[in-house]
Amino acid sequence: MNKIFFLVLSNFFLSITLFPQQSQLSKGVNYISAFIASDYFKEISTSINDLTLVDSIYLKALSFNDYDYSETLLALSFATIPYKEVPIRIPLLNLIIYYPLTSAYDSVYQMKNKNLPKDIFFDTPENNFGDKDKLAHFFGAAFLSYNSLFFDLGDLFGYFVEAFEEDFKVQSSIDERDLITNNLGDNFGKLLKGNKKILPSRVLITHSLFYFRYSL
């Protein structure tokens, strides 16, 4: 399907969902970021695994947003992004611009990034960064999937990411693990519609379980 179509359509849906919520979104991003950056979060991270930490972030965000699941997933999408801006290459013009993202204040932002859960999957890279960037993919896809009414916005998000990374990002190689994470987020959003008690870890762990089941 035409990639430009998906880019334009994705921009339309993001515009009608994001802009009316900018004030609440900013508050949510700051609150979640402060929680992840807190001494309390750092302390509990020494006694529980990273998937359980993801659940604790999710539950904290839910409480802050009065159990509005759409607001929660949206705020989590931005709060877990480990970047303040993204470099975008404009095709044909070969021009690079840096698009600013909604984020917390510098000191909180930096500590939040340091504390973000990184051991998400069985194949997480063994370095200090690990899979810290995967949570934004997961919650972003979940947000679109949860809010879809007439067609699958979660799948649309996946197409958008693929087209965006191939045509616009400075690092244009597509990360298969990002696409896997998008799919998991899409599934979480769908499941959340019928079961409000489901936690992110229950879906994220299926990637590892599926691999080990078929590798035995």
For the chain, the domains span: 3-215
* pTM across the whole model: 0.77
Contact 117, 51 (CB under 8 A): yes
Count Cβ atoms below 10 Å from residue 160 Cβ, excluding itself: 23
Compute the distance between CA of residue 147 and CA of residue 130 in angstroms, rounded to an integer. Answer: 29
Look-up of token digits 């991003």: 29
- Per residue in 172-209, pLDDT (tens digit) is 455 788 889 999 999 999 999 999 999 999 999 998 77
Query: Which one, of 17, 115, 119, lies nearest residue 73 by Cα?
Result: 17
pLDDT at 16 over 80: no
Compute the distance between CA of residue 117 and CA of residue 39 in angstroms, rounded to an integer. Answer: 15
Helix (H, G, I), strand (E, B) or coil at 120: coil
Helical axes 134-146 vs 69-79, angle rounded to 10°:
160
- Per residue in 148-162, pLDDT (tens digit) is 764 455 454 554 444
- Per residue in 52-103, pLDDT (tens digit) is 999 999 999 999 999 999 999 999 998 998 877 666 666 667 777 766 666 6
Longest Cα–Cα distance in the chain: 51
